[in-house]
Amino acid sequence: MIEVSITKAMKRYDGGDSLAIRAEFASGTTTLVTGPSGAGKTTLLRLIAGLTNPDHGHIRAFGQLWTDVARRVNVRPQRRSVGFVFQDFALFPHLTVMQHLQFGTDDQAYIEQLLAMTGLGGFVRHRPLKLSGGQRQRLGIARALSTKPRLLLMDEPFSALDPVTKLGLQRSLKHLFDELGMTCILVSHQEIDGKLLASRQLEIN
């Protein structure tokens, strides 16, 4: 269970000036977070990952206190066991596809599984600049999964994929989430992106 109760001052496109969220995410489930641009969807993911600090409130995950502003608790991102799929992919230009995955794990069998799932098996020696937009996005997903995180945070993870690739990848992800008992929070502009994966939807206004 992940329990979030936070406020964070932010500059929003709609003129609002703070994000206030109280939500719970059950373990082993996938939640689709939707909302207009600037509503704070990405900020929510960053707060949970520990990449941004809230102004007030707390975040509790898997029985552990990750953030509590009042008690000055702030567990570092390295110790939260989260995988993060960044909207801009945030790939490492100097590493090949294989090296990206080896950055997260030494388990070669698991790497092969991720490569098969994302369709990147034929590109293991390629660096990001030689990949298409869709391949980069799939690499971003595979890399985030490589550490076998307890919680996967995905920010617009399917935006660069064609419908057929997207559907195939979502099926594989659902299978992997079930296999690993992984909790996932998925941010998307398009509700359709989460239909297959998500069991619950959270809208931020």
Partner 1 sequence: MDWTPIWLSIKLSFVTTIILLAMGIPLGYWLSKPGAFYKDILEALLTLPLVLPPSVLGFYLLMAFSPNQAFGAWLQDTLNISLVFSFEGLVVASVIYSLPFMLNPVRAAFSNIQRSMVEASYTMGKTAAQTFFRVLLPNVKYAILSASAITFAHTMGEFGVVLFIGGNISGVTQIGSIALYDSVERMQYDVANRYAAVLLGFSFVTVLSVFLVNKRLVRGIIG
Q: How far is the CB of 117 from partner 1 (least distance, A)?
A: 18
Compute the least distance from the CB of residue 50 to partner 1, in Å.
8
Residues at the contact surface with partner 1, assessed by CB under 8 A: 49, 51, 76-80, 82-84, 86, 88, 90-94, 103-104, 127, 129-130, 143-144, 146-147, 149
Contact in structure between 80 and 151 (CB atoms under 8 Å): yes
Written in H, E and C, the secondary structure of 120-131 is: CHHHCCCCHHHC
- Indicate the residue among 132 and 199 with the shorter CB distance to partner 1: 132
* Residue 125 vs 195, nearer CB to partner 1: 125
Q: In the Cβ-directed half-sphere of 57, how many Cα atoms lie within 13 Å?
A: 20
Q: Which is nearer to partner 1, 130 or 195 (CB)?
A: 130
**Min separation Cβ 70 and partner 1, Å:** 24
Task: Output 75 or 204, the one with its CB closest to partner 1.
Answer: 75
Which distant-in-sequence residues (6+ apart) come within 8 Å of 175 by Cβ?
Answer: none
The smaller minimum CB distance to partner 1, of residues 144 and 187, is found at: 144
Instruction: In angstroms, give the least distance from the CB of 82 to partner 1.
Output: 6
Residue with tokens 């941010």: 187
* Residue 38 CB partners (closer than 8 Å, separation 6+): 12, 13, 14
Q: In the complex, what is the shortest distance from the CB of residue 87 to partner 1, in angstroms, rounded to a whole number?
A: 8
Do the strands 73-74 and 64-68 form a parallel or antiparallel pair, or are they unpaired?
Answer: antiparallel
